Amino acid sequence: DGGITQSPKYLFRKEGQNVTLSCEQNLNHDAMYWYRQDPGQGLRLIYYSQIVNDFQKGDIAEGYSVSREKKESFPLTVTSAQKNPTAFYLCASSIDHRGARANVLTFGAGSRLTVL
């Protein structure tokens, strides 16, 4: 079955450490996204990529970095510069990056990061 795989599901990090969250899709979707979810808040966009080797900052990109070397993969690195990294992280993709279908996102199951 096609879908998005995020790993790890749970991750604990000490302050000052960088961590990388994996996101892989086998849907052949062009666009990929990273969102962050905090209690009582909607999903907020961190980074997005419309095509391989290209990505743009979302609303809350500070302290995060991404790469898009392959169409299938869009890893997110949470750096030590991110002041409040404890959150639930969701990766998503869409078949196109333009048109109505660009708004229909397929999400992974998420990764919960806790900073100790």
Q: Which is nearer to other proteins, 36 or 72 (CB)?
A: 36
Token pair belonging to 70: 């392959």
Q: Which of residues 69-98 bind other proteins (CB under 8 A)?
A: 90, 92, 94, 97-98
Our finding on whether 99 is near other proteins (CB under 8 A) is: yes
Residue 8 to residue 59: CA distance in whole angstroms? 24
Q: Which is nearer to other proteins, 3 or 17 (CB)?
A: 3
Using the contact rule CB under 8 A, the part of the chain among 14-22, 44-52, 67-75, 78-86 near other proteins is 44-52
Q: Which is nearer to other proteins, 12 or 99 (CB)?
A: 99
Q: Which residues contact residue 54 at a Cβ distance below 8 angstroms, ignoring those fewer than 6 apart?
A: 68
Among 48, 72, 76, 85, binds other proteins (CB under 8 A): 48
CA 97 to chain centre: 16
Binding site for other proteins (CB under 8 A): 4, 6, 31, 33, 35, 40-45, 48, 50, 56, 58, 90, 92, 94, 97-100, 102-110
